[in-house]
A = this chain, B = another copy of it.
């Protein structure tokens, strides 16, 4: 299991001396002391409205229709950070105080399609509104922000992200950027070279971690192999990646393993694949992912955890 000493945490120069220990605390909390990130994505209630949470029970467990499901998973499962909007966190955090929260600062719905307008996801509140949560005792360790690179609104999102990162680091809070190339100017969102550019952009903006979509497979290379360019380009900014829309657990865990051990990823970000299941199954999947990500578990070991043949804790 990878272990990161306090002294080994690379503290960005935007963190002042008085926030240095806080930053290290937050970094170690978020990565469970490993330098790797297991991010449980819970921001889809705005991003996808209710599409990810209710289909009458066909593919989505009915437990997911109720928002508290997300917190129960975070509380009973094993995760690094629980990422969602400030208002959602604020409504439930008092009852789930031990979760490591990452406030997703911007969000948009998917109602406006690409042919109507390029995507812009607005900052939903000031940074001070996040500090308020922390001052009120919420266990916020990080913030997140999505940039749509190549959108006609790229400049607004770059500027909001850049300033938020400065503010967060000044307070010792870590930052994860979601960077997705998207818009009329982007014909291929999953081009590995473009994804490497996205990863490098996050580094230059000062993010601690960057989430990108996995590259599409090429004739002569697997997605994990192609991801290597991006994980190189992101340098000290840890690259995390989603497993895509796979639902079969074994394939999914295999992908995550390859992203880390072949693609150079430093973790993963998973949402629907976790929360669309019953509480019990979802909890087991968080443990399987965390075993693989945080404890360098094998696919087999993780699968055994998911199947309930084995337990996992940190």
Contacts and interface: CB of A to CB of B under 8 A. Distances in A.
A4 B132 CA distance: 27
Interface in A165-207: 165-167, 169-170, 181, 183-186, 193-194, 196-198, 200-201, 203-207
12 contacts: A45-B203, A46-B200, A49-B201, A50-B233, A51-B193, A54-B196, A67-B236, A87-B205, A88-B206, A107-B204, A121-B155, A125-B162
B237 A91 contact: yes
Interface in A110-168: 111-113, 116-117, 120-126, 128-129, 132-133, 135-138, 149-150, 152, 154-156, 158-159, 161-163, 165-167
A50 B49 CA distance: 34
Q: Can you tell how many copies of this chain the complex includes?
A: 5
A121 B155 CA distance: 7
Contacts of A236: 67-68, 91-92
A71 to B, nearest CB: 10
A11 interface: yes
A207 B87 contact: yes
A94 interface: yes
Interface residues of A, number: 95
A84 interface: yes
